[in-house]
């Protein structure tokens, strides 16, 4: 019900009443850092409670777009691409950010860190793990044997896909960096080793 009211946005349920007549939820997406609403189901009424980071105007933020595609092996890959509004280099370097956990959850639509990196002139690709929507049976052996190689290969495929689908916005293919925290940090180091 809530996702239908907020198309192309991420809806996260925060809490609800005992009867589920009222639902507290957060909506994020694009350049919107987030808003919190109450949904009164009986009246079909949505009331905004507050906005996150009201000092951030959408016009000041870098454009962020969700992407998804099927990899050559059939896995469904997705993530977000944040493009610098004012690139310092032409074409800008690409920063690939690996998710911190495994299997982890999907990246949020709005990420303040991606905005900071885009302000510094990077195109930022934040990747989801291929298993974020559930693990396919055919992926299990590869994930058990070398989850790091699968994730690095997925990043390489995503870079190729982004380059092919955005010819009007090229990035510097010789300046691609990787970043992550926790398990994502390990993947960033492995990406340097496996795909220097």
Tens digits of residue pLDDT in 114-148: 989 999 999 999 998 887 766 666 766 766 777 78
Look up the pTM and report it: 0.71
* Residue 13 neighbours by CB under 8 Å, 6+ apart: 2, 23, 24, 25
Element (H, E) at 81: strand 76-83
Q: Does the CA dihedral 49-54-60-64 come out positive or negative?
A: negative
Spatial contact of 64 and 80, defined as CB atoms under 8 Å apart: yes
Coil, strand, or helix at residue 127?
A: strand
Per-residue pLDDT band for 164 (boundaries 50, 70, 90) equals: very high
Provide the pLDDT for residue 85. 87
Spatial contact of 151 and 71, defined as CB atoms under 8 Å apart: no
104 has pLDDT over 80 = no
Provide the pLDDT for residue 139. 67
Spatial contact of 93 and 177, defined as CB atoms under 8 Å apart: yes
In degrees and rounded to multiples of 5, residue 139 shows phi and psi of -90, -20
Provide the pLDDT for residue 133. 63
């Amino acid at each position: 019900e809530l996702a239908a009211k907020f198309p192309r946005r991420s809806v996260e349920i925060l809490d609800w009443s005992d009867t589920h007549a009222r639902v507290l939820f957060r909506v994020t997406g694009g350049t919107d850092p987030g808003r919190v609403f109450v949904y009164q189901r009986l009246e079909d009424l949505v009331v905004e409670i507050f906005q996150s980071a009201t000092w951030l105007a959408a016009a000041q933020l870098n454009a962020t777009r969700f992407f998804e595609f099927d990899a050559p092996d059939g896995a469904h890959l997705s993530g977000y691409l944040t493009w610098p509004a004012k690139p310092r280099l032409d074409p800008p370097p690409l920063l690939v950010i690996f998710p911190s956990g495994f299997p982890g959850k999907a990246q949020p639509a709005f990420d303040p860190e991606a905005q900071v990196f885009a302000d510094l002139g990077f195109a930022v690709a934040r990747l989801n793990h291929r298993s974020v929507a559930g693990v396919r049976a055919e992926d299990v052996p590869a994930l058990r044997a070398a989850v790091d190689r699968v994730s690095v290969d997925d990043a390489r495929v995503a870079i190729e896909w982004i380059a092919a689908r955005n010819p009007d916005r090229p990035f510097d293919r010789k300046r691609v960096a990787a970043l992550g925290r926790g398990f994502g940090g390990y993947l960033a180091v492995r990406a340097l080793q496996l795909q220097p």
